[in-house]
Amino acid sequence: GAVVSQHPSRVICKSGTSVKIECRSLDFQATTMFWYRQFPKQSLMLMATSNEGSKATYEQGVEKDKFLINHASLTLSTLTVTSAHPEDSSFYICSARDPLSGLTSDTQYFGPGTRLTVL
């Protein structure tokens, strides 16, 4: 099946710094990528939908100025957590949809996740 990678897998940063997380589709072109956040023992919550060449669509309650999403190419989307604070510590997971497989969610492929810890 299709492979989605994330980098880094784990990052620790100081409060106030910005952190960039990359999501790549390795063997297909993804016009749409999704960013999720998962707190310990909680479910995945969709943060935003990233569309190649256009602005991301953020879910209600997600600060677009804090979580900057750039989907500059068909294989790469980045999530930048700006001025990170301890409450931003979480597990961030991306997924990518292969448009050649149709427009159903069964073609969403998930990355391995990035563990962010803000001290």
Partner 1 sequence: KQEVTQIPAALSVPEGENLVLNCSFTDSAIYNLQWFRQDPGKGLTSLLLIQSSQREQTSGRLNASLDKSSGRSTLYIAASQPGDSATYLCAVDGGGYGNKLVFGAGTILRVKS
Interface residues toward partner 1, by CB under 8 A: 6, 32, 34, 41-46, 49, 57, 91, 93, 95, 97, 103-106, 108, 110-113, 115
Shortest Å, Cβ 3 to partner 1: 11
Shortest Å, Cβ 40 to partner 1: 11
CA-CA-CA-CA torsion for 50, 55, 56, 57, nearest 10 degrees?
-130
* Residue number with CB closer to partner 1 (13 or 45): 45
- Beta-sheet pairing, 76-81 with 19-25: antiparallel
Yes or no: say if 81 and 116 are a contact pair by the CB < 8 Å rule.
Answer: yes
Shortest Å, Cβ 51 to partner 1: 9
